[in-house]
Structures are given as C-alpha cells and as structure tokens.
Structure 1
Amino acid sequence: MSTTLGLLGVPSSAAAHWPGQEKAPAALRAAGLIRLLGEAGLEVEDHGDRPVVRWRPHPTERRPHNLSQVLQVLSDARAQINSIFEAGQLPLVVGGECTLAIALYSAAVAHDEDVALLYFDGGQDLSNAPDNPESVLDGLGVGHMLDLPGTAPALASFGPRRPLLSPERLCFFGYGDPEEDREGLVPSTRFPASDVRPDPRSAARRAVQALGADRFVVHFDVDVIDFYDLPVADVPLYNRGLTKAEAMTALSEFVAHPGFAGMTFAEFNPDHGEPDGSTAHVLAKALAQALGPLAKP
C-alpha cells in the first residue's frame, strides 16, 4: 500500500447529541486542510465530501436514536472507504461523528480480517442502552462493533462478520472519561489519559505492541483534547483530556508505524471554536503535522 492519503469528508451528525458536527469537513477545508497537508509533504487524493446529514430528533426511533439514518450514512461511507482501500490509499475520513469508526473498520476488515483498531477517544463508547438512556449512537459505536448485550442487531451486524471486532484486536487510548466496562465484558488493553500524559510517544508505541497485529486503523476523536486547551470537541472534556501537543505527538507515533492503515478524524464541532475559523485552522494544522511521518523523503 502506498502512503497516499485518500481524503473523504463525511459531514454527518446523524448519530450525535445535537447538530454541529456536520459542519466539520467544510470548516477544515475552509481552514486550509488540503494546503496544509501538501505543505507537510503529504500526497493526497481528494475524494470529496458526502452529502450533508444534519441531526434532527427522530419521531419514533429513540432507542437507539435515529438508527435507520445512521445506517444509511455508514453504508454510504463504507462504500467510499472501500474504494479508497481498493485504490491502494490510506483512508483519512474526516467526520462527522464517532460511528464513522464502524464504517472504517468494516471496510478495513473486508481487506484484512486481522486488522486491529486503536480507539483514540475521550471515552470508550461501550455503554449499552440501560446505562445510556439517551441512546445516542456516537457513544455506543464500540459496543456495537463488539456486539455487547443491549446493542441494536441491525448495527451490530453491520460488516462482514458479527461481531465485527474482538477485544484482543482493540486498544483504548487516551480516554479521560470514567471506565465504562464495569462488568468486565471487554478485556482489551487500555491506556487512560493519565498513563499517556507523562510520555505520549512511549505510550503510543506500547499501545501498538499490545494490539499484536500487522495492520491497524486509528479512530481519533478530538474530545481526547482538553476543551480548555483547544475548544473543538462536540462533547467536551474539562481538565481530564490530553493537551493538543500530547494528543498529536501520540497520533504521529501511530502514523509512523508501518502497520498504520488509515484513520477517522471525528467529533469536531466548529460552532465551539472561534467564529473566524481560527480554531479550525489550529486543528487542521495540528492534524497535518501529526500526519507528517507519511511524507515521502
């Protein structure tokens, strides 16, 4: 596989708590993402943005909320990501919300059944319906990939196998929210923010080793970044997240690994940043720099 990035925007907040994330791909583009990636020495093929899907309360689908539209968005995104893999490129999927990890991992498994998932997120997205009465799907994605009790069958079976993901092919990294696996159903390796913060590079290397796979994809949720350090997340972490520098240092270490096979970049809500787009520019520049190890000499 080449080191050419296949950039795809999925401007959807279908699975979110409220509107806003559907604006993220356009905001990052307006902030110069394509130019910044080029200035970092990266080769990029732009696959464009999918249609905008804005959050709205569904009149009947409440547990989980808006499931049918989420499935439509994921099916469309998976087809586009599959085309990127077939072109021999590394997917860079800019969302949009966290359920995009399901589309990316589903497409990746279709190309390599042993591929692993590094879940770089402020939470673990495991809570089932009784624990999460809101039933907002962008907080339930990993639980559905693992087919945990209480998940929606239509989403748990999204992919070439069920369960789509096994705990030994999963590593949680950087989370600042409390432990979600209170019943011990998911014996995956975990690196909470408190373990990452002292030495992000070392923690990232140990996380990749723990996956035990030749190839892996990364799901990066910007809520791993402390909201006081950079106000970009749709659902903020205050005084619990990583700094922007810590998060991007770890991300660059993942990208530098020869097994890196693509990523999602999710949960940016442009409404939370400066109205002049300067916050989006800081985020776009940080992403381009973190992807720098993919640049050809």
Structure 2
Amino acid sequence: MADDTSPRRGWGVLGVPSSAAAHWPGLEKGPRALREAGLVEAMRSAGLSVVDHGDRTEARFRAARSSDEPNDVARVVEVVRDAADAIGEIVAAGRRPLVLGGECTLAISLVSAFAAAGREVGVVYVDGGQDLQLPGDHPDEPILDSMGMAHLLDLPGAVDALAGVGPVRPLLTPDRVCFYGFAEEDEDVHGLVPSLRFTAGDVTADPVATAVHAAEAASRARDGFVVHLDVDVLDYLLLPAADVPQYGRGLRVATLVQALGILAARPEFAGMTVVEFNPDHAAADGSTAREVVRAVVSILAHARR
C-alpha cells in the first residue's frame, strides 16, 4: 500500500513521439496532435498543476529486422531507455508523470523510471489486448508493440536487451498487474501470468466494481500503481483513435472515463501513459484528438491534488 503522506507537485507531461516499435508509421504524431488539441491547457483549466516537459526526439517506424529478432530492437530499446530517464526526472521532482505516446512499450519506461527511484508500482493495463506475445510464438508478426507486457514480466523467450532495460529484472510480477478491458482472447497461452483480468464485456457490465477490484489488485505493490491506457481499448467505430482498431468490441468513451476516474481518485494512483493514438486514423478536423483530450482530462480531474 502506498504512503499518501509523500509530497506531490502536480503533473509532469512528457511526449514520446515514437513509432519505432509499431506496425507502421503514425504513432510518432500522437503527442503533437494531443498537444494541439489543447491537452495541457485543458488540464490546467480543470485545476491540475502541470509542468510540461516537452517531447523527446522523434523515432519513426522503419523496417530494420535481423533474422532472429523483432523489428528494430536496438532503436526500440534506445527509445525506451531515453523515455525512462526523462520520466525519472518527473518522478524525482515529486510529480505524477503523464506520458504521451507513442507505443505500448512506454509502459516499460514508466515502470522502469519508478523502479530506478526505488519505488515498486503495480500496473492497471487498460488495453484492447494484453501484449503478452513473445517473439518465438509470433515469428510472422515481429513487432515489439504487441510484446511490451511480456518484457515487463520478463517471460521466457523475451528479448534480453528489452527485458533488461530497468534497474531490476523483472520490472513487474503478475500479482501487481490487472489486465483491464481487453477485447481479444487471453494471450497467456503458456499459463505464466496469473493476473487479475477483466474483459471489455466485464467492464461494460459493471465499470464501478471492476475498477475497484483492479485498483485493489494493483495497490498490492508497495508504492502505488500506474495506469497504462492504450486507446485501442475503445470501440474504433465510436472513436477512430487507435493504431490497431477494435471494431465493435471495445469500450465506450463514457464507460472508460467512469472506470478510470475511480482509479485516478485512489491515493495510490501514481501516473499514467496515454498511447497508441494515431492521428492518421483520426478525423481530419481534429475532433478525435479533442475527444481523447476531454476523456483524459475527465479522468485525471478525479486525482488527488
């Protein structure tokens, strides 16, 4: 259980404009699009204290696969390490990090930054999938974006360079994880990840109870929990934001906001990623980005000041 007596100095916003780990380009445009949609200003208007830490160097997708590794491993590791160092500065300043991606591998950066500060956090993994794929199981899809959680947990067959980026290994254990809102089939094909799980159907049926249980599970970590939010948890036909869509199977925006608002209100809530927003898939008039901003700010407005 986290100690809520520690001082907090608001939020630190960091953009990581990378699609290096993705299936194709586009995600590197996400942080800029969310900024242009007024994210930082909306946070401040909601009464949140915000320090904007800017964006890291852009890393656009490229085809760079070796014969025995996923695509562009060295560059993905470079992005993850750089982001972890930058997030670490936010954590050291006593602020909660809000990390704008970019890819799901930024969850590794977020947990690693806390670990480097001597803090053990849990993760509520709000995602249309579970990202438990391993290179050996999916040689036809050598994309690290779908493997982030597998590397956080250091599952057998994980890429050594990525699983070992943090100060401890593994960075995370299954008892400190809750998979929340996934619409695909369970990816734990080897039975190695006995974590709490709530499908999109579970969350839709009872967003309040599932959020409470998710927070309780992740709060078993000594120093609170972070939320990883992949916008592909949303129904793409209702909000075309995701890089890899869920058609008709994801959550409604209102359901997501209700559930994550409960998580954000917990004293253990320590930070958040917002990833996988691809502006190339969104409405050209910027309305999709603005709706994502409204949702994120509505969630964060529940957090303790």
Tell me the TM-score normalised to structure 1 length: 0.96
Shift in Å, 1:113: 4.1
SS of alignment partner, residue 226 of structure 2: strand
Which residue of 138, 141, 147 maps to 2:145?
A: 138
Q: How do 1:62-211 residues align onto structure 2 when only pairs under 5 Å count?
A: 63-133=69-139, 134-211=141-218
- Which residue in 2 is equivalent to 1:23? 29
Please tell me the residue identity of whatever aligns with 1:43: S
| Mapped pair 1:7 → 2:16 | no
- Which residue in 1 is equivalent to 2:291? 282
Shift in Å, 1:62: 6.5
Shift in Å, 1:146: 1.1
CA distance in structure 1 between the partners assigned to 2:122 and 2:215 by the alignment: 9
Larger deviation: 110-119 or 94-103?
A: 110-119
CA distance in structure 1 between the partners assigned to 2:276 and 2:68 by the alignment: 21
Shift in Å, 1:63: 2.2
SS of alignment partner, residue 205 of structure 2: coil
Please tell me the residue identity of whatever aligns with 1:105: V
Q: Is the 8 Å Cα contact of residues 43 and 295 (structure 1) preserved in structure 2?
A: no
Please tell me the residue identity of whatever aligns with 2:238: D
| Mapped pair 1:35 → 2:35 | no
Please tell me the residue identity of whatever aligns with 2:108: I
SS of alignment partner, residue 172 of structure 2: coil
Query: Alignment identity in percent?
Result: 52
SS of alignment partner, residue 144 of structure 1: helix
Please tell me the residue identity of whatever aligns with 2:192: L
- Which residue in 2 is equivalent to 1:273? 282
Ranges in structure 1 where 5+ consecutive residues have no aligned partner: none
| Mapped pair 1:50 → 2:56 | yes
Q: 1:51 to 1:62 in 2, by over 3 A?
A: farther
CA distance in structure 2 between the partners assigned to 1:91 and 1:59 by the alignment: 32
Moved segments of 4+, more than 3 Å: 59-62
Please tell me the residue identity of whatever aligns with 1:224: V
Please tell me the residue identity of whatever aligns with 2:181: G
Q: How do 1:248-263 residues align onto structure 2 when only pairs under 5 Å count?
A: 248-263=257-272
SS of alignment partner, residue 56 of structure 1: coil
Question: Deviation string for 1:64-113 (max 9, x for gaps)?
Answer: 11110011111110111000000000000000010000000011122344
Shift in Å, 1:34: 1.3
Q: Is the 8 Å Cα contact of residues 9 and 93 (structure 2) preserved in structure 1?
A: no
- Which residue in 2 is equivalent to 1:291? 300
Number of aligned pairs?
296
Question: Deviation string for 1:119-147 (max 9, x for gaps)?
Answer: 11111100112322212001001101111
CA distance in structure 1 between the partners assigned to 2:58 and 2:284 by the alignment: 20
Q: 1:201 to 1:77 in 2, by over 3 A?
A: same
Q: Is the 8 Å Cα contact of residues 3 and 295 (structure 1) preserved in structure 2?
A: no
Larger deviation: 203-212 or 85-94?
A: 203-212
| Mapped pair 1:219 → 2:225 | no
Q: Is the 8 Å Cα contact of residues 227 and 236 (structure 1) preserved in structure 2?
A: yes
Larger deviation: 3-12 or 60-69?
A: 60-69
CA distance in structure 2 between the partners assigned to 1:272 and 1:3 by the alignment: 35
SS of alignment partner, residue 34 of structure 1: helix
Q: Is the 8 Å Cα contact of residues 41 and 295 (structure 1) preserved in structure 2?
A: no
Ranges in structure 2 where 5+ consecutive residues have no aligned partner: 1-6
Q: Is the 8 Å Cα contact of residues 3 and 294 (structure 1) preserved in structure 2?
A: no
Which residue of 226, 235, 249 maps to 1:240?
A: 249
SS of alignment partner, residue 182 of structure 2: coil
Please tell me the residue identity of whatever aligns with 1:149: P
Question: Deviation string for 1:175-199 (max 9, x for gaps)?
Answer: 1111101221111111111111112
SS of alignment partner, residue 174 of structure 1: strand
Please tell me the residue identity of whatever aligns with 2:145: D
CA distance in structure 2 between the partners assigned to 1:123 and 1:156 by the alignment: 19
CA distance in structure 2 between the partners assigned to 1:170 and 1:61 by the alignment: 32
Q: 1:174 to 1:187 in 2, by over 3 A?
A: same
Shift in Å, 1:293: 1.3
Please tell me the residue identity of whatever aligns with 1:46: D
**Aligned-residue RMSD, C-alpha:** 1.4
